[in-house]
């Protein structure tokens, strides 16, 4: 009789352990539950900071991107695809399946068409230029022939590197640095 009781107790213990193990969520499962939820439970988080900040962020993302479609396997970054966009993120869960860390990268919002995407550039302040080509054809453009100061911005980076080399004593201001054609990255 004691052996039977001991066997029943052991079986019950293993059954409870299996149930608890089944309830522990992997990173992808925790993310899917989080990003598809209409209501987010504060008990899903390992700490109060996350449980107070994340629900508002997720709600904003859901409003902007629509319904969650899928969570891609997290290797090395996770990817959440929604109806209207997507974003990559890093998530960590505890051994109990609680979210202990969540870092969401800025979302990419899909455009219905190339024309819609270009129209969004038109809404930007300042002078804007976009030129999109493929297979030798212009696919779309907005002020595509405008000359903007991107080259001048690049020159500032080069001057900063030159200043660092001069500061390290490797070059001086009067020295001429010749450009080697092998350094070119564009034709």
Residue 103: both structure tokens together: 């870092």
Distance CA 104, CA 78 (A): 10
Q: What is the mean pLDDT of residues 16-40?
A: 76
24 pLDDT band, cuts 50/70/90, is: low
Q: What is the pLDDT of residue 76?
A: 81
SS3 170: coil
Mean pLDDT over all residues of the chain?
83
Q: What does the domain layout of the chain look like in residue ranges?
A: 24-109
> Which one is predicted more confidently, 126 or 64?
64
Residue 179: which pLDDT band, with cuts at 50, 70 and 90? confident
User: What is the DSSP code string of 59-109?
Assistant: HHHHHHH-SEEEEE--SSSEEEEESSEEEEEEEEE-TTS-EEEEEEPPPEE
Half-sphere exposure (CA, 13 Å, Cβ side) for 34?
34
Task: Grade residue 20 by pLDDT with cuts at 50, 70 and 90.
Answer: very low
Residue 40 clears pLDDT 50, i.e. is over it: yes
User: What pLDDT digit, counting tens, does each position of 93-137 carry?
Assistant: 999 999 999 999 999 999 888 999 899 889 999 888 888 888 889
Q: How far apart are CA 99 and CA 58, in angstroms?
A: 14
Whether the per-residue pLDDT at 19 is higher than 50: the answer is: no
Weakest mean pLDDT among 31-40, 164-173, 177-186: 177-186
Segment 27-38 shows an average pLDDT of 96
What's residue 119's pLDDT? Answer: 92
- For residues 61 and 87, the answer to whether their CB atoms sit within 8 Å is yes
């Amino acid at each position: 009789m004691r052996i039977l009781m001991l066997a029943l107790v052991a079986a019950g213990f293993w059954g409870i352990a299996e149930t608890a193990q089944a309830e522990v969520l992997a990173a992808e499962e925790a993310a899917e539950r989080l990003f598809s939820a209409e209501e987010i439970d504060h008990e899903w988080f390992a700490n109060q900071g996350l449980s107070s900040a994340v629900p508002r962020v997720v709600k904003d993302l859901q409003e902007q991107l629509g319904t969650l479609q899928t969570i891609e396997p997290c290797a090395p970054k996770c990817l959440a695809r929604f109806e209207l966009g997507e974003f990559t993120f890093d998530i960590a869960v505890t051994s109990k399946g609680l979210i202990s860390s969540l870092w969401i990268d800025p979302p990419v919002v899909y455009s219905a068409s190339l024309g819609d995407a270009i129209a969004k550039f038109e809404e930007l302040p300042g002078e804007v230029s976009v030129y999109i080509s493929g297979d030798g054809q212009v696919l779309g453009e907005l002020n595509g022939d405008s000359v903007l100061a991107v080259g001048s911005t690049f020159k500032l980076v080069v001057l900063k590197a030159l200043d660092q080399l001069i500061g390290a004593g490797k070059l001086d201001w009067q020295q001429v640095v010749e450009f080697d054609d092998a350094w070119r990255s564009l034709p």
